[in-house]
Amino acid sequence: MTPAPQRFLHVASLLALLGGCADAPTGRGEGSGATAVTKGDDLDEDSSTTSGDDIPMTAHHEAVVACEAKADHAREHLNEARSDAIVDLERERNDCLVMANDAARETIEAILAAATDSWAGQTGAVWDAQRSTAIAACNALVETSPDAADDRRPVASAACVALSELHFAAVLDAYVDFGDVPFSIAGARDRYPSCYAAYDDAQANAAGVDPLAEGVAAEEGLADCVAGVHEAFAPELAARVVELFPGRDPLQVETDLRDAFTAQVDARSKVCIVAAHAGVQRTAPDVDLERAECLVDAAIQAGEVLELVAPDLLDDGATDDGGLEDTGTSSDDGGSESSTSF
């Protein structure tokens, strides 16, 4: 399915405001893993089945859509020279998304409690951790941007934090059983070709003794590889910080960046556990595969945050800004194409 062009306008605007020169994305790469069903939804309209029957959006998804629509509307009437107004817009956008994601906790906690799941009662701590680590990662990454040394820094920071909260919303919609048709977050084969090559090789050479365990291992390996690509940029990112702030210790900056990346991966892994345990596969053996697929999605989303702040590092293509779109097809081979842009 070809993404609606208007869905990418606000991302292009942000990249321009943050000094990026990348064009607005026009599509996504192939699917990230063995998603057995589509998990997409077009944010400009209600989701639909492949037969065209309308399916109302869930309360969470509708709330997220409303947040993005409100922000897009405000952005259309914004003077781009007013950085203070842009900061306010992104902070209000983030606050709205936080409310939507916090409201989802009641449903998630009810599912976990009904299953006497060991993660019941922990959503508050998991939510807080993913937000604090996202903010820390944004703070570290924004220091690598040319905007870090001028009055555009708050714009970059606010946009980064809001994007991270949007990614969180996408993961919840993709994996939690809110009672709707499941969603899918797209893969990024064009952006991480070596990672996907290793993933394909692992799938092709699986022994077949325990297909589920082998599938989980393949997904986890893909997630680790994508995260490794991002971490490998730490020296280059640290060099950019030192160039902007000559008094900084490059080794310490690099260590701080790696620590921020690692902490965020750990926090989002817990989000994935909770989401999978509250998902449609929670009582099935596939629940661990759902968790592993979520790890891939979270890793790809981290790349989208990196792209927003430092758009020249990652390869072109393959990813956009981390929302949800109806794919209209199903795949379980990691080769489906879908789009996940809000």
Residue 299's closest CA among 254, 274, 268, 340?
268
Tokens linked to 212: 């589920």
Rounded Cα gap, residues 227 and 302, in angstroms: 8
The model's pLDDT over 84-141, given as tens digits with 9 standing for 90+, comes to 899 999 999 999 999 999 999 999 999 999 999 999 999 999 999 999 999 999 999 9
As a whole number, the mean pLDDT across the chain is 77
Rounded Cα gap, residues 156 and 83, in angstroms: 10
- What is the predicted pLDDT for the residue at 186? 82
- What is the predicted pLDDT for the residue at 181? 62
The model's pLDDT over 6-31, given as tens digits with 9 standing for 90+, comes to 222 233 333 333 333 333 322 222 33
Specify whether the CB–CB gap between 186 and 319 falls below 8 A.
yes
Torsion of CA 196, 177, 107, 105, to 10 degrees: 0
Q: pLDDT class for 77, splitting at 50, 70, 90?
A: confident
Model confidence, pTM: 0.78
For residue 14, report the phi and psi dihedrals to the nearest 5 degrees: -65, -45
Rounded Cα gap, residues 314 and 141, in angstroms: 14
Strand 54-55 versus strand 47-48 pairing type: antiparallel
Of all residues in the chain, the percent with pLDDT exceeding 90 is 55
C-alpha torsion sign, points 231, 193, 187, 122 = negative
| Measured CA angle at 190 (ends 185, 191), to 5 deg | 80
Torsion of CA 88, 93, 99, 105, to 10 degrees: -140
Task: Assess whether pLDDT exceeds 50 at residue 42.
Answer: no
The model's pLDDT over 175-187, given as tens digits with 9 standing for 90+, comes to 999 987 667 788 8
Tokens linked to 34: 């063995």
Specify whether the CB–CB gap between 72 and 10 falls below 8 A.
yes
